[in-house]
A and B are shown apart, each in its own frame.
Chain A
Amino acid sequence: MMKERKNIGQTTQAFCKKNVIFACSMSKHCKFAIFLMTLTMLWSCSEPLPLEINEEAQWLLECELSPTKRIEARLVSLGNFNDVESGDIIENAIIDLGTNTDLAFRFQYDSRNKIYYIPLESYKVNPSIPYTIKAYRFAGDPNPLEAKTTIPAGQKLVVMSQPKATDATINGTKRKTINLKLALPNVEKEQGFFRLFAYRKVFNKVDNNGQIVYTPTGKTEMLEFGGNNENPLAFHQSAIDGSVLFDVNRVNKQNFEVLFNTAGAIGADDHFENIFYTLEALSESSYRYNLSKSRQIKAELYGNSDPVINYRNMANGYGYLGGCYPVSDSIAIQ
């Protein structure tokens, strides 16, 4: 049931009384003239904006190349921003991938998952080689969607301090938090973009003849990044997939801090052994596209704020071709 709520716009009697007294003290002509002028003056005019959207719907292609994953591409047509039914998935396009000079591999279409792919066994991409993708609306399309990228080299985090988990109250709940001092000393300046996932194993507490032992449950739990609401780390750009996107060139790559928090409230006997992480070195296009997309989706309130601008490196359409090289490892926690 909807609750009865106070009508915060209710007019008070005092207001009406005051208003009537004011109005009565003026002559009819004067009142009429002022009312007319005020009426005209204060009339706020709001009109629908005639946006010029191409008759032919724009396409959006997303593809991230990784040496360790099956290559997949998502192709959709953009809809009208105020019509949820107008956009759709494109199923009959021709998408080719290859090096700059040889677009040798054509994507297959997975109709069940509605995604284009190249089987891992048939084509493997490698770092430091420039790749090109093209998507044709029809055979012989003179203006295909086109983008280029290069996969960066993988990187491993260097732990600069003895990691230790401490209890902390974050946003009203008790959690474990670890402040890690890390380094990425071998990163080239133009390859400073990363996506970091972190998780931990979940343990069961077992009393083994008076000796408490913790046994893995086989489950994992993703870790959160960035401290709490009052102390956010500014370079953290949390993405909607639970990862954090960052540009290491914006911090001291020889020694920077990252805060990891357990996601939910913990009990008194919480056990924390390792941080398992996957650090994905990203091409700039991957970093910028995913960052802008995450911000766009998280930015529910537009209000007076300027909107998030979507990144693209795709010519003749929207979307991106990016590169990603993941490296996984773990960090032992005291």
Chain B
Amino acid sequence: MKKIFNILLIIFVGSGFVFGQVRVEDVRISYRCLNKPLPVVLRELSKQSGVNIVFSESKIKSDKTVSIGATDEKLVDVINVICDPFKLTSQVIGSNIAIVSQKFEGLGQQFTISGYLRSKEDGEVLPYAAVYLVDRSTGVFCNEDGFYALKLKQGNHTVVYSYVGYKEDTLQFYLGSDTLISPRLGCANRLAEVIVEEDLTRSTERYGETYFSTERVSNAMMFAGEADILRAVNSTSGVSTASDGFGGLSVRGGNYDQNLILYDGVPVQNTGHAFGLISIFNSSLIQDSRLIKGGFPARYGGRLSSILDIKTRDGNTQEYKGEISLSTIASRALVEGPIVKDKSSFLFSFRRTFADPWIKELSRYIVESSDGEGETSYHFVDFNGKLSFRLGKRHQLSLSYYQGGDQLESVVNRDKISLGIRYNSADLNDQQWGNKLASLHFNSQLSKNAFSRLIIYSSNWESSAFAFDRNAVDSMQAVEDIYTADLKTSDLKMLGAKWDFDIQINRNNLFRIGAGYVKNTFTPGFLSVSNVSNGSLYPEVYTRSDAFDALKRQAYESAEITAYAENEINAGQNVIINVGVHASQFTYGGKNYTSAQPRFSMNINGEHTWFNVSGAMLRQYTQALSDNGLGFPSDQWITSTQYILPADGFNSNATLGFMLGKAASLSVGAYYKTMKNIISLGEGAPLSIALGEEWQKAIPRGKGTSYGLESTFQWSHPNAQFEFNATYGKATRLFDDLNNGVEYLYKYDRTWMTNTSLTLKTGARSTMNIFFTYQKGSNVSAPTGGIIERVENGQKYIYPIFEGKNNFRFPDFIRLDVGFTFHGKTKLGKHKIFAGIYNVLNRKNPVYLDISRNNFDLNVFEVSKVSIFPVLPSLSYTLVIGK
């Protein structure tokens, strides 16, 4: 009866009175009373303020009286204070205030606000933007396509839309039905506010994820003047690379192939130009990225260590824009604009190294200075294209294409005469690698609270590495002229489709389901020939095309079907639980592998503290066979087969965070993970790949464990941003066929890693970036002595003794980078100049250990640590044409 009364009351009030031009919520009042009955007070307030206050006197049964003293307070707040002891509250309805039961408020009808959040400047959707009530009692994040759905009770609400780098937008409205709201956020003035303030209280780190906004990537230290998402990722806790960004990322002691890297939802295998120094991801195109190291939601699968989800932006739907950039190592150009204003857009970008003529000249100089002749030529190129179409208010179609590749050719000849003996050597390395990615995306808001996403994609990876090594000795006694030629190729083609369906069931449950299918074809290739092997006759010079003619390759096909269900539960005002299961079936020939991987994560968010804990079972069907774990393009990407079992893992994680005042936060976390059926190349010799499947039996299979502690401190100020993170960890591997079956430290077992970054606003148009990293050195296998094992014709042959795998730790890795960014604006457009010094301390951090026999004395082993970059100045200039 009481409920019916309240409903009638609201209908009555809502349909009746009109109150002037001043919003009821803004009405302020000064009022004092002592021990007066509530009805009397409400009437006096109504009279004094001129706002119609509707209530039922019969429902106020308490004998309590009201005493209050308010000076220039909001009327609504005053009413709520005096009504609270009576278990009543106020609701603003139109220009009236209704006094209703607090119970009634909880039983009101719920409606959904939903829509897309976009940028006001270019119409771009804003993924993972925050949408929440102003009192922060509830809220959601947009999905990766900028879609959100928030269920709220009927009534007045103040909703905040927030996105890093954009001005917050606050909307006040009365919600009486399901409503489509697609606001556009204005961009913060990036010239004046170069430093973007992150709201630490809503930091996504709280949810076990690390977000990389465009600003965060561009504020991260650049290498050779190129902003790079993978370098930004590498500066976070628990992430390492071999050195100087070489190779792939090792996340929390995992292999580099255990990271699922999605580029607009399309999996990418090898992400590096220049052996990983520069990622293939053009920073001008990246809208938003996030790294998940633990607490894997069920919608992701296929890798054991991390997810890096990179989303590119759409073209500008409002105006034509262009961007050109020149840096020390590459130049790039970008054009974008509307096809039909507000409805469709295009975006094309092109990037290429332009230093190749200098690389040739310099390499020639270096080789000649060491009594040789030859040169190195290298270049990379990539192209991105994207067409986006808005189909009405609820649907969007986009087509994306990426093609990029690298080409490296190095030739070195040496001729030397010593004691009447002529030595001649010739080395040729010819490597080419690249990706082609194509995808079609169709996003659709199916209803007020349901969203669907369909992706059809292909991802092709191709690489080839040809090496020719010739050594000749011409003496009075004999002539030896021996060469070896090796060709390694790796192709992995993926053709697949994924469908995701998100539905906001109610205010507390966001349910997601999805399914996917992918067909994999991997084609490995290996050829090694020598002009003395098997007595066969080979040509005088064995060329790349000779090797390709002789190479026998076989394509191996497999298919994977995936499905998932995931529910994100608001289990209380401050508790979010995500539970789900990711299932997969993998088919290779007649062999089937099935898996159900439960996932769980829980986040507790207090005002000043937060805590998250997660656990996930994971399975990986695609792995890389790496020569050295560095993640070079010559690695073989292969899928599970009859003999290569899927890798399984368990990943757990717990993090506790604290706000230290309003501007600083500290989080401390621990992780533990196990891996089994991971693969590696054997010791001593390259994998001999042949036709058939027997060669797969020779691939060592083993286990891995890693655990550690991570800590991150962040401090944010309008003029500065500081971050320090530290990781203490251990990572081990155990393979029956490696290290004689004894457990050993993983290559990237760094023990200690710290990264410190500071971004400082040095003027109205300039910032300074400082980045410092300290890490324990990586582990390598080094010889501890030599032994004579063979004597032929009086010649002793010595062999090195290796006492253990990864028995030697490189010196500590230390690097300090400093950079300055200057912004300007002219009639032509916006200008940005970056000048930086990479490795200011000129620290020669080793990347790998080179062990080889001396070309001219095969009995001498040369062992050297190789560092790549000394102090390195860099410069880049970017011009953005358009508003």
Among residues of B, the one whose C-beta sits closest to the C-beta of A292 is: B740
A312/B803 contact (C-beta < 8 A), A7-B413, A79-B786 known? yes
Which of B363, B424, B484, B781 is in CB contact (< 8 Å) with A301?
B484
- Contact, CB under 8 Å: B355 / A3: no
- Contact, CB under 8 Å: B870 / A305: no
- Contact, CB under 8 Å: A38 / B358: yes
- Contact, CB under 8 Å: A22 / B684: no
Cβ of B852 within 8 Å of any chain A Cβ, yes or no, is yes
What CA separation (Å) do A7 and B783 show in the bound complex? 35
What CA separation (Å) do A2 and B411 show in the bound complex? 21
Interface string of A279-300 (1 = CB under 8 A from B): 0000000001000110111111
Q: Which A residues are in CB contact (< 8 Å) with B479?
A: 1-2
Cβ of B787 within 8 Å of any chain A Cβ, yes or no, is yes
What CA separation (Å) do A58 and B800 show in the bound complex? 13
Among residues of A, the one whose C-beta sits closest to the C-beta of B863 is: A49
Interface string of B328-352 (1 = CB under 8 A from A): 1100000000000000000000000
Which of B411, B534, B788 is in CB contact (< 8 Å) with A79?
B788
What CA separation (Å) do A80 and B860 show in the bound complex? 10
A84/B628 contact (C-beta < 8 A), A47-B867, A235-B697, A309-B738 known? no
Among residues of A, the one whose C-beta sits closest to the C-beta of B552 is: A230
Binding site secondary structure of chain B: mixed
What CA separation (Å) do A42 and B867 show in the bound complex? 11
Cβ of B360 within 8 Å of any chain A Cβ, yes or no, is yes
A232/B688 contact (C-beta < 8 A), A19-B360, A37-B874, A307-B781 known? yes
What CA separation (Å) do A290 and B741 show in the bound complex? 14
Cβ of A219 within 8 Å of any chain B Cβ, yes or no, is no
What CA separation (Å) do A68 and B111 show in the bound complex? 90
A81/B783 contact (C-beta < 8 A), A229-B690, A230-B690 known? yes
Cβ of B627 within 8 Å of any chain A Cβ, yes or no, is yes
Among residues of B, the one whose C-beta sits closest to the C-beta of A48 is: B864
A305/B787 contact (C-beta < 8 A), A34-B358, A40-B871, A81-B861 known? no
Among residues of A, the one whose C-beta sits closest to the C-beta of B411 is: A9
Q: Which A residues are in CB contact (< 8 Å) with B846?
A: 47
Q: Which B residues are in CB contact (< 8 Å) with A304?
A: 627-628, 630, 632, 634
What CA separation (Å) do A304 and B861 show in the bound complex? 15
With most chain A CB atoms within 10 A of its CB, the pick from B411, B741, B802 is: B802
What CA separation (Å) do A32 and B349 show in the bound complex? 29
Report the interface size class on chain B.
35 or more
What CA separation (Å) do A87 and B397 show in the bound complex? 72
What CA separation (Å) do A37 and B330 show in the bound complex? 13
Q: How far, in Å, is A85 (CB) from chain B's closest CB?
A: 8
A46/B864 contact (C-beta < 8 A), A9-B411, A288-B740, A305-B628 known? yes
- Contact, CB under 8 Å: A81 / B785: yes
- Contact, CB under 8 Å: B694 / A2: no
- Contact, CB under 8 Å: B360 / A15: yes
Cβ of B850 within 8 Å of any chain A Cβ, yes or no, is yes
Cβ of B447 within 8 Å of any chain A Cβ, yes or no, is no
Q: Which of A224-265 contact B (CB under 8 A)?
A: 229-235
- Contact, CB under 8 Å: A38 / B536: no
Among residues of A, the one whose C-beta sits closest to the C-beta of B473 is: A2
Cβ of B784 within 8 Å of any chain A Cβ, yes or no, is yes
What CA separation (Å) do A1 and B478 show in the bound complex? 9
Q: How far, in Å, is A168 (CB) from chain B's closest CB?
A: 15
- Contact, CB under 8 Å: A42 / B804: no
Q: Which A residues are in CB contact (< 8 Å) with B739?
A: 309
What CA separation (Å) do A40 and B800 show in the bound complex? 35
Among residues of B, the one whose C-beta sits closest to the C-beta of A295 is: B684
Report the interface size class on chain A.
35 or more
- Contact, CB under 8 Å: A2 / B866: no
Q: How far, in Å, is B248 (CB) from chain A's closest CB?
A: 15
Q: Which B residues are in CB contact (< 8 Å) with A310?
A: 801-803
Which of B802, B864, B867 is in CB contact (< 8 Å) with A309?
B802
Q: Which A residues are in CB contact (< 8 Å) with B796?
A: 84
Q: Which B residues are in CB contact (< 8 Å) with A42?
A: 358-359, 362-363
Q: Which B residues are in CB contact (< 8 Å) with A311?
A: 740
Cβ of A13 within 8 Å of any chain B Cβ, yes or no, is no
Which of A84, A292, A307 is in CB contact (< 8 Å) with B798?
A84
Q: Which A residues are in CB contact (< 8 Å) with B862?
A: 82
With most chain B CB atoms within 10 A of its CB, the pick from A80, A296, A299, A304 is: A304
Q: Which A residues are in CB contact (< 8 Å) with B870?
A: 40, 43, 45
A53/B785 contact (C-beta < 8 A), A3-B481, A232-B690, A308-B802 known? yes
- Contact, CB under 8 Å: A41 / B627: no
- Contact, CB under 8 Å: A87 / B798: yes
Q: Which of B404-443 contact A (CB under 8 A)?
A: 411-413, 422, 424, 426, 428
Cβ of A172 within 8 Å of any chain B Cβ, yes or no, is yes
Cβ of B849 within 8 Å of any chain A Cβ, yes or no, is yes
- Contact, CB under 8 Å: A305 / B785: no
- Contact, CB under 8 Å: A288 / B412: no
Q: Which A residues are in CB contact (< 8 Å) with B328?
A: 34, 37-38, 41
Q: Which B residues are in CB contact (< 8 Å) with A49?
A: 782, 849, 863-865
Q: Which B residues are in CB contact (< 8 Å) with A84?
A: 786, 788, 796, 798, 859-860
- Contact, CB under 8 Å: B329 / A9: no
Q: How far, in Å, is A234 (CB) from chain B's closest CB?
A: 3
Cβ of B717 within 8 Å of any chain A Cβ, yes or no, is no
Q: How far, in Å, is A171 (CB) from chain B's closest CB?
A: 5
- Contact, CB under 8 Å: A79 / B685: no
Cβ of A5 within 8 Å of any chain B Cβ, yes or no, is yes
Among residues of B, the one whose C-beta sits closest to the C-beta of A88 is: B788
Q: Which B residues are in CB contact (< 8 Å) with A83?
A: 786, 860
- Contact, CB under 8 Å: B873 / A87: no
Q: How far, in Å, is A64 (CB) from chain B's closest CB?
A: 16
A22/B859 contact (C-beta < 8 A), A301-B685, A305-B628 known? no
A309/B740 contact (C-beta < 8 A), A53-B785, A81-B801, A302-B851 known? yes
Cβ of A331 within 8 Å of any chain B Cβ, yes or no, is no
Q: Which A residues are in CB contact (< 8 Å) with B874?
A: 37, 41
Q: How far, in Å, is A38 (CB) from chain B's closest CB?
A: 4
- Contact, CB under 8 Å: B781 / A48: no
- Contact, CB under 8 Å: B785 / A80: yes
Interface string of B466-485 (1 = CB under 8 A from A): 00100010100001010010
What CA separation (Å) do A217 and B698 show in the bound complex? 39
Q: How far, in Å, is B716 (CB) from chain A's closest CB?
A: 33
Cβ of A78 within 8 Å of any chain B Cβ, yes or no, is yes
Which of A1, A299, A318 is in CB contact (< 8 Å) with B801?
A318
Q: Which of A16-66 contact B (CB under 8 A)?
A: 18-19, 22-23, 33-49, 51, 53, 57-58, 60
Q: Which B residues are in CB contact (< 8 Å) with A36?
A: 873
Interface string of B738-767 (1 = CB under 8 A from A): 111100000000000000000000000000
- Contact, CB under 8 Å: B632 / A9: no
Q: Which of B105-145 contact A (CB under 8 A)?
A: none
What CA separation (Å) do A312 and B784 show in the bound complex? 13
Q: Which A residues are in CB contact (< 8 Å) with B804?
A: 309
What CA separation (Å) do A81 and B541 show in the bound complex? 32
Interface string of B773-799 (1 = CB under 8 A from A): 000000001111111111000001011
Cβ of B298 within 8 Å of any chain A Cβ, yes or no, is no
Q: Which A residues are in CB contact (< 8 Å) with B868?
A: 44-45
Cβ of B869 within 8 Å of any chain A Cβ, yes or no, is yes
Cβ of A11 within 8 Å of any chain B Cβ, yes or no, is yes
With most chain B CB atoms within 10 A of its CB, the pick from A33, A60, A84, A87 is: A84
Which 8 pairs across A and B sit closest by C-beta, in order of nearness?
A234-B697, A299-B684, A78-B785, A9-B411, A81-B786, A9-B374, A304-B627, A308-B684
With A33-B875, A49-B863 given, name 18 new contacts (CB 8 A).
A3-B481, A9-B373, A22-B357, A34-B358, A40-B872, A46-B866, A51-B782, A78-B787, A79-B787, A80-B785, A231-B692, A232-B690, A292-B740, A304-B632, A305-B686, A306-B628, A309-B740, A309-B803
- 22 pairs across A/B with beta carbons < 8 Å? A7-B373, A8-B541, A35-B362, A41-B329, A41-B872, A42-B363, A48-B863, A80-B786, A86-B786, A87-B786, A87-B787, A87-B788, A229-B688, A232-B688, A304-B627, A304-B634, A307-B683, A307-B684, A307-B800, A310-B803, A318-B785, A318-B801
